[in-house]
């Protein structure tokens, strides 16, 4: 079945540590997106990519980095520069209109 | 910049009854898409319904329908015959039709709907 796979489901980060969230899709979608979800704030766009080897900052890119070396993969790294990384992270992919979302990763700072 | 506002943080409805969730948006675009997404306790985002702004007819998907008022920039979701499985967070979202390289979804803050037995 086609879809988006995010891993891990739960992730714990120590202070000062970088962590990488995985997002893989087999839908042959060109565009991929990373959103952050916090209580009471909806979903906010971190980064997006329309094609391989190209990506753009979203509204809250500071403290995050991404790569797009393959069409299927769009990993997100939460760096030590992100001061408040505890949140739920959602990856999505899509054709021009209509996203498919992954099941998310819950990141917690310990 | 586009904004999406959901003014009802929480709502409750009895099973089998009808409930309407409100959404307003602000944009200077003429052509765009509007969406309602559902996020149940599993946190999986599920597309409920989509509306193209150029279409005057309101979209309908089984028990879900919208009231799209383009001039008022209003896009409400009506859920008929509410079921326990409808309990979820509901997000209203906006996308420009000709966004080019920026087909980004802009979300509201969500409405938490509880269906009571």
pLDDT at residue A96 greater than cutoff 70? no
pLDDT at residue A98 greater than cutoff 80? no
Q: Is B95–A88 a contact, with Cβ atoms under 8 angstroms apart?
A: no
Among A30, A99, A107, the strongest candidate for a mutation testing the B interface, having the largest count of B CBs within 10 A, is: A99
Q: Which of A31, A42, A88 sits opposite B103 (nearest CB)?
A: A31
pLDDT at residue A40 greater than cutoff 90? no
User: Which residues in chain B have their CB less than 8 angstroms from residue A48's CB?
Assistant: 102, 104
| CA dist list (Å): B3 to A42, B30, B34 | 12, 15, 12
The tens digit of pLDDT for each residue in B6-41 reads 999 999 999 999 999 999 999 998 889 999 999 999
User: Which residues in chain B have their CB less than 8 angstroms from residue A44's CB?
Assistant: 107
pLDDT at residue A31 greater than cutoff 70? yes
Alpha helices in chain B (DSSP H): none
Interface residue B42 vs chain A (CB under 8 A) = yes
**How many other C-beta atoms can be found within 10 angstroms of the C-beta atom of residue A46?**
26
Q: Is B50–A97 a contact, with Cβ atoms under 8 angstroms apart?
A: yes
**Token pair recorded at residue B26:** 């602000």
- Which residues, at least 6 apart from B18, have a Cβ–Cβ distance to it below 8 Å? B78, B79, B80, B81, B82
Cα within 13 Å of Cα(B85), Cβ side: 2
Backbone φ and ψ for B13, nearest 5 degrees, come out as -145, 150
The tens digit of pLDDT for each residue in B41-85 reads 999 999 999 999 999 899 999 999 999 999 999 999 999 999 999
Interface residue B112 vs chain A (CB under 8 A) = no
Q: Which of A43, A48, A50 sits opposite B91 (nearest CB)?
A: A43
For residue A1, the model assigns a pLDDT of 62
Nearest residue to A98 (alpha-carbon basis) of B36, B56, B63:
B36
pLDDT band at A32 (very low <50, low <70, confident <90, very high): very high
Q: Is B80 helix (H, G, I), strand (E, B) or coil?
A: coil
> How does DSSP assign A28-68, residue by residue?
--SEEEEEEEETTTEEEEEEEEEETTEEEE-TT-TTEEE--
For residue B45, the model assigns a pLDDT of 93
């Amino acid at each position: 079945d086609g879809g988006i796979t995010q891993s891990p489901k739960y992730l714990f980060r120590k202070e000062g540590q970088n962590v990488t969230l995985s997002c893989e899709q087999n839908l042959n979608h060109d565009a991929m997106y990373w959103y952050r979800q916090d209580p009471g704030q909806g979903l906010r766009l971190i980064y997006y990519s329309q094609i391989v080897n190209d990506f753009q900052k979203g509204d809250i890119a500071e403290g995050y980095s991404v790569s797009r070396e393959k069409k299927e993969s769009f990993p997100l790294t939460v760096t030590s520069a992100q001061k408040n990384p505890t949140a739920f992270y959602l990856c999505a992919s899509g054709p021009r209109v209509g996203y498919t979302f992954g099941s998310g990763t819950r990141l917690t700072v310990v | 910049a586009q904004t999406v506002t959901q003014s009802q943080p929480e709502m409750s409805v009895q099973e089998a009854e009808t409930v309407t969730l409100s959404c307003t948006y602000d944009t200077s675009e003429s052509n765009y898409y509007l969406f309602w997404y559902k996020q149940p306790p599993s946190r999986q985002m599920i597309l409920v319904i989509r509306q193209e702004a150029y279409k005057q007819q309101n979209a309908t998907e089984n028990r879900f329908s919208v009231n799209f008022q383009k001039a008022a920039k209003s896009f409400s979701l009506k859920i008929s015959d509410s079921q326990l499985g409808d309990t979820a967070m509901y997000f209203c979202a906006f996308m420009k039709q000709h966004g080019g390289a920026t087909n980004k979804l802009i979300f509201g803050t969500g409405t938490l709907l509880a269906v009571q037995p």
